Amino acid sequence: MMDAKKVTALLRKKGFKVTPQRLAIYNVLCNTKAHPNAEMIFNKLQPYYPTMSLATIYKTIDILKEINLIQIINVGEDSLRYDAVVKSHSHIRCTVCNKVEDIMDFDFTPAIKDVAQRTSYDLSGQQFYFYGVCPECQAKANRKIG
């Protein structure tokens, strides 16, 4: 999570031009916890940037990923989601409403170390995904039955 000034500086430093579209896309990702995919970002910006195309979203995401401003989340849907929180953390998806939430402050270090030792791989990263029904959807289901 960076403010506009830092993002501007970082883009320049890495040799990318600073455009309103790029700042806007990063801004959307900073101001949501919904882990949007490309289309959701597109829809969010549509009112303010009516001429923006999906291609711009994808190209900008490539750049933001490259300079490590965002991370890509693959929760097994048909589209990818994006997150402005780059600190490694796990995600959980509700199998009913499909929302994706963060699982922060969860220490998987011992497990990771164990895997590294056991496999002799030179580990560079990992992704943990959990699936289940969120409390809200559980409540809804109970209301229907009750």
Partner DNA sequence: TTTATATTAGATAATAATTATCCACAAAAA
Partner DNA sequence: TTTTTGTGGATAATTATTATCTAATATAAA
Binding site membership: which residues? Answer: 94, 97, 134, 137
Of 10, 16, 63, 129, the residue at the interface with its own copies (CB under 8 A) is 129
Of 1, 54, 111, 115, the residue at the interface with DNA (CB under 7 A) is 54
Of 30, 32, 59, 92, the residue at the interface with DNA (CB under 7 A) is 59
Of 12, 33, 87, 113, the residue at the interface with DNA (CB under 7 A) is 12
Return the one option of its own copies, DNA, none that residue 92 interacts with (CB less than 5 to 8 A, by type).
its own copies
Q: Which residues contact 123 (CB under 8 A, 6 or more apart)?
A: 112, 115, 116
Residue 88 engages its own copies in binding (rule: CB under 8 A): no
Phi, psi angles (nearest 5°) of residue 37: -95, 180
Task: Find the length of the chain.
Answer: 146
Return the one option of its own copies, DNA, none that residue 43 interacts with (CB less than 5 to 8 A, by type).
none
User: Which DSSP category does 114 fall into?
Assistant: H
Judge contact between 40 and 25, C-beta under 8 A: no
Strand 71-73 and strand 81-83: the pairing is antiparallel
Q: What is the DSSP string of 8-35?
A: HHHHHHTT----HHHHHHHHHHHT-SS-
Q: Which amino acid is at 138?
A: Q
Stretch binding its own copies (CB under 8 A), from 11-19, 20-28, 42-50, 133-141: 133-141
Binding site for its own copies (CB under 8 A): 72, 74, 76, 90, 92, 94-95, 101, 103, 106, 108, 111-112, 114-116, 118-135, 138
